[in-house]
Amino acid sequence: MNWYNVKTEVVSKYAKHANVKAEVASGKTEVVSEYAKHRNVKAEVASECAKHANVKAEVATGKAEVVSECAKHANVKAEVASGNVEVVSECAKHRNVKAEVASGKAEVATGKPYIMQFMMVY
């Protein structure tokens, strides 16, 4: 065996180890870039959380709208109640008309005997 060949093998072995180091270094770079990706994922998760916070805000405004809708319905109930009062007062008016008609009939009824009396005089 030649010393030159041994040295060459040692050098090539060292070169292989140097390549392994380079591969390890590039592997570390990949790990770092993966970590950077994970950091971005964290940032994305944070932005997703922000989106969910906005959704919560939208839900809150939606609830406020529902509450205001309920308030509108309460007003409708109040309007219906006032409408009922109007209907009742209308009924009272109609009752008065009935009373007026009844009193008119009474007047007519009392008028008939007077006419009959008048006719009897002749």
Whole-number Å distance between alpha carbons of 18 and 68: 73
Question: What is the reported pLDDT for 68?
Answer: 73
Asked whether residue 12 carries a pLDDT value surpassing 60, the answer given is yes
Asked whether residue 117 carries a pLDDT value surpassing 60, the answer given is no
Question: What is the reported pLDDT for 97?
Answer: 67
Amino acid present at 52 = H
In eight-state DSSP terms, residue 122 is -
Q: Where are the domains of the chain?
A: 1-122
Whole-number Å distance between alpha carbons of 95 and 108: 19
Give me the mean pLDDT over the 37-58 stretch.
70
Tokens of 74: 């309460």
Give me the mean pLDDT over the 12-38 stretch.
68
Asked whether residue 30 carries a pLDDT value surpassing 70, the answer given is yes
In eight-state DSSP terms, residue 86 is H
Whole-number Å distance between alpha carbons of 53 and 45: 12
What is 28-62 written as a DSSP string?
Answer: HHHHHHHHHHHHHHHHHHHHHHHHHHHHHHHHHHH
